[in-house]
């Protein structure tokens, strides 16, 4: 780590249980451990309130959410660190859509998540940081030749090292499409289960305004997936994981504007030794991260059915191939790339 600069990770873990942030907290912990960078769990909400882009709102937030003693102590510690010139490191989820972040300043390092085509041109306006990490190579390509590209570096998303072991989980579910549903894969898989009703397909379904997991052989499942540990255990129980890029087949086209980054689900499925079948284009992020080495991509229904049937009759036997892929995408591996760039500041 740089001898001339000090860093701290500003985390929202103490303040937010929002599920998409749970994976971010795992990344923060590995980076902290591997690079020896402390995590500040107390200052995030104070800083977020003080530097809110919405005028006349910061005091209201502090009063409503923060005990006075915590506010005083956290504010003092936060501004002491800023005064000493320490660099803030922070992951930003939806960095453009939620304009209340505190780290547009120069002495902060941001790791931008969920920058898409429909908001990408606001990035230079918002971020004046010396170092900006992006997690989709399409973002870096978009700014190629522009001034901001000199301050941008690419790192892929990753999977926490704590999930990586040599044991294949016990497989109870045949095929699982977890979370966001790709319409093509869903249609194909229902067609498979109509033809082979003994095959169990589990997918997310909305029942009376509540998201549940539905099994084609058992009906609604009473599975808990609210914590990361529960989520990963449920995913690991699947023999086959169906996956997709967010901007393909019209699934999330409005939000992504057609951008197709690799999502964490690909790495989560790999570390759980699930066979993987996906819908994704020849997008730069997928090619750079060699997703095709572990995830089959059928072009039509017949190829899809053949792949599913083959995977279900074959106990998982691709550990060696998967382990090469997983090791390239562990958070500890990404941490070393971050370290190399921090040392240049």
Question: Which whole number is the average pLDDT over 100-117?
Answer: 75
Closest CA to 13 of 41, 36, 33: 41
Whether residues 338 and 303 fall in one domain:
no
pLDDT number for residue 70: 54
CA 260 to chain centre: 13
- The strand pair at 39-40 and 219-221 is best described as unpaired
Whether residues 82 and 136 fall in one domain:
yes
pLDDT tens digits, 250-261? 766 667 777 899
pLDDT tens digits, 247-294? 888 766 667 777 899 999 999 999 999 999 999 999 999 999 999 999
Task: Say what percent of the chain tops pLDDT 90.
Answer: 60
> Residue 45: is its pLDDT beyond 60?
no
> Residue 30: is its pLDDT beyond 60?
yes
Whether residues 124 and 260 fall in one domain:
no
Whether residues 213 and 263 fall in one domain:
yes
Residues 198/133, Cβ–Cβ less than 8 Å: no
pLDDT number for residue 52: 46
Q: Is residue 277 part of a domain?
A: yes
Q: Is residue 1 part of a domain?
A: no
Let me know if 315 is exposed, middle or buried by CB neighbors in 10 A (0-12, 13-18, 19+).
exposed
| Lowest-confidence pick of 32-36, 87-91, 214-218, 338-342 | 87-91
H helix or E strand, kind and range, residue 306: helix 301-312
Question: Which whole number is the average pLDDT over 217-243?
Answer: 95
Which runs of E-coded beta strand occur in 159-260? Answer: 173-177, 201-207, 210-215, 219-221, 238-244
- The CATH number of residue 318's host domain is 3.40.50.2000
Whether residues 208 and 92 fall in one domain:
no
Q: Is residue 2 part of a domain?
A: no
Ranges of H-type helices in 53-146: 58-65, 68-83, 123-126, 137-142
Question: Which whole number is the average pLDDT over 37-63?
Answer: 56
pLDDT number for residue 60: 44
Distance CA 164, CA 84 (A): 38
Distance CA 32, CA 280 (A): 32
Q: Residue 325: left (phi > 0), alpha (psi -120 to 50), or beta?
A: alpha
Question: Which whole number is the average pLDDT over 92-99?
Answer: 65
> Residue 100: is its pLDDT beyond 60?
no
Ranges of H-type helices in 112-252: 123-126, 137-142, 183-195, 228-236
Per the structure, how many domains does the chain have?
2
Whether residues 170 and 152 fall in one domain:
no
Tell me the β-bridge partners of 344: none
pLDDT number for residue 122: 83
Closest CA to 331 of 134, 166, 157, 112: 157
Whether residues 149 and 63 fall in one domain:
yes
pLDDT band at 50 (very low <50, low <70, confident <90, very high): very low
pLDDT tens digits, 169-218? 999 999 999 988 999 999 999 999 999 999 999 999 877 767 789 999 99
Whether residues 110 and 192 fall in one domain:
no
pLDDT number for residue 164: 97
Residues 269/276, Cβ–Cβ less than 8 Å: yes
pLDDT number for residue 96: 60
Q: Is residue 257 part of a domain?
A: yes
The whole domain housing 74 covers 7-158+331-342
Q: Is residue 230 part of a domain?
A: yes
Whether residues 175 and 280 fall in one domain:
yes
Residues 267/158, Cβ–Cβ less than 8 Å: yes
Neighbours of 129 (CB within 10 A): 21
Whether residues 93 and 205 fall in one domain:
no
| Lowest-confidence pick of 23-37, 97-111, 142-156, 171-185 | 97-111
Whether residues 77 and 54 fall in one domain:
yes
Task: Say what percent of the chain tops pLDDT 70.
Answer: 81
Whether residues 193 and 134 fall in one domain:
no
Q: Is residue 261 part of a domain?
A: yes
CA 225 to chain centre: 16
Supply the pTM of this predicted model: 0.88
Q: Is 244 helix (H, G, I), strand (E, B) or coil?
A: strand
């Amino acid at each position: 780590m740089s001898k001339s600069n000090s860093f701290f990770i500003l985390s929202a873990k103490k303040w937010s249980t929002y599920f998409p942030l749970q994976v971010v907290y795992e990344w923060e912990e590995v980076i902290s451990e591997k690079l020896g960078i402390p995590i500040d769990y107390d200052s995030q909400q104070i800083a977020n309130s003080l530097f809110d882009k919405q005028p006349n709102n910061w005091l209201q937030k502090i009063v409503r959410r923060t005990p006075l003693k915590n506010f005083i102590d956290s504010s003092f510690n936060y501004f002491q660190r800023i005064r000493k010139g320490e660099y803030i490191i922070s992951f930003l989820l939806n960095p453009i859509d939620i304009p209340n972040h505190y780290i547009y300043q120069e002495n902060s390092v941001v790791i931008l998540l969920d920058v898409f085509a429909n908001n990408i041109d606001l990035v230079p306006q918002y971020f004046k940081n010396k170092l900006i990490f992006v997690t989709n190579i399409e973002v870096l390509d978009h700014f190629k030749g522009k001034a901001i590209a000199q301050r941008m570096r690419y790192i892929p998303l990753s999977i926490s090292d704590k999930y990586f072991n040599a044991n294949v989980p016990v497989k109870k579910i045949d095929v699982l499409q977890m979370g966001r549903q790709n319409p093509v894969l869903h249609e194909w898989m229902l067609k498979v289960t109509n033809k082979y009703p003994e095959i169990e397909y589990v997918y997310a379904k909305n029942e009376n305004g509540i998201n549940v997991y539905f099994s084609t052989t058992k009906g609604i499942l009473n599975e808990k997936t609210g914590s990361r540990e529960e989520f990963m255990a449920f995913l690991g129980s699947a023999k086959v994981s169906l996956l997709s890029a967010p901007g393909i087949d019209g699934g999330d086209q409005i939000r992504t504007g057609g951008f197709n980054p690799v999502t964490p689900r690909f790495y989560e499925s790999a570390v759980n030794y699930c066979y993987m079948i996906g819908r994704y284009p020849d997008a730069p992020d997928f090619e750079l991260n060699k997703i095709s080495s572990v995830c089959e991509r059928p072009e039509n229904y017949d190829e899809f059915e053949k792949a599913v049937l083959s995977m279900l009759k074959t106990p998982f036997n691709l550990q060696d191939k998967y382990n090469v892929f997983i090791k390239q995408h562990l958070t500890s591996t990404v941490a070393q790339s971050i370290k190399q760039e921090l040392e240049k500041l």
